[in-house]
Amino acid sequence: MTAYLEGKNIVVTGAGNGIGRAIALGCAGAGANVVVADYGVSLAGADPSSEVAEAVAAEIEEAGGTAVAVAADISTMQGGSSVVQAAVDAWGSIDGVVCSAGILRERMIFNMSEEEFDDVVRVHLKGHFTVYKHASAIMRKQETGGSLVGITSGAFTGSTSQCNYSAAKGGVISLTKSAALALRRYGINANCIAPSAKTRMSENVPFEIEAGAPEDVAPMAVFLLSDAAQDITAQVYTVIGPRISVWAQFGEVRTMFAPDQGGWTPQGIEESLPRTIGVEEHPTMALLAQQAAQRQASEGSG
């Protein structure tokens, strides 16, 4: 990836660990100047520290790259502004952002507290907004435009014990697509990566998932930040090990109409829906059913 991002100034949030760290190192290896932004908190969002950001920045500089470490809470407007401004102050402009900061508060929906829900949505979703807002405000005035890269997850389709995380990651996709529509005229593209990698966050997933390494995600992020991807926008790409997939754009797949001008009745829907539009099977439902069957079989044999 040498020189792929030569001269570009990139902000990576959550860059102290896992996927964010791998992306920050990948951007630096591709020639970018990198703001290593990380609040340095635990998975639960406690005990902030600048040590992790500083360690990654030092690692970049030891390898011959250029980096600035910033420990800021990107879930606040001031924090989002500070990580963007760090790039402008250091190098005069900002060319791209990658938002990988996040925390987890895992609990079933009927046991989840308001604070547990709000904290996760605040860091993941609002943390994207604060960085996107401040970065795009500068990028739109630059002749070179820029790139926004959101980090979502396949969990946006639903999660058994992380409804807060799932809701936030779904919001990241909608936010990023909205940014893509609004900012296209200014030469700014916006895309999402939905990675699956073995990190400290993925250890809490309640069932086995396909996962690669954090380093597998970096090349896709570098590509989306580069001039080669300037015409690619409003896309969601899965990255798992050697596999990259693109998600379908959301849209209606089948339609039914009321048989007369009287409109629908509940009974009419009951009769028509199964033989017309039907339902769309949720892929995770099959996995959960399989796990339930395995548990029953195991209990029966015991």
Residues annotated as part of the active site: 165
Evaluate whether 230 touches 5 at the Cβ level (below 8 Å): no
Angle at which helices 127-139 and 77-91 pack, to 10 degrees?
Answer: 40
Residue with tokens 């609990």: 107
- CA distances to 13, 26, 119, 173, 211 from 69, in Å: 10, 16, 24, 27, 29
Q: For residue 130, what are its two tokens? A: 């604060």
- The H-assigned helical ranges of 123-254 are 127-139, 163-183, 218-225
Evaluate whether 176 touches 124 at the Cβ level (below 8 Å): no
CA-wise closest residue to 194 among 248, 140, 150: 150
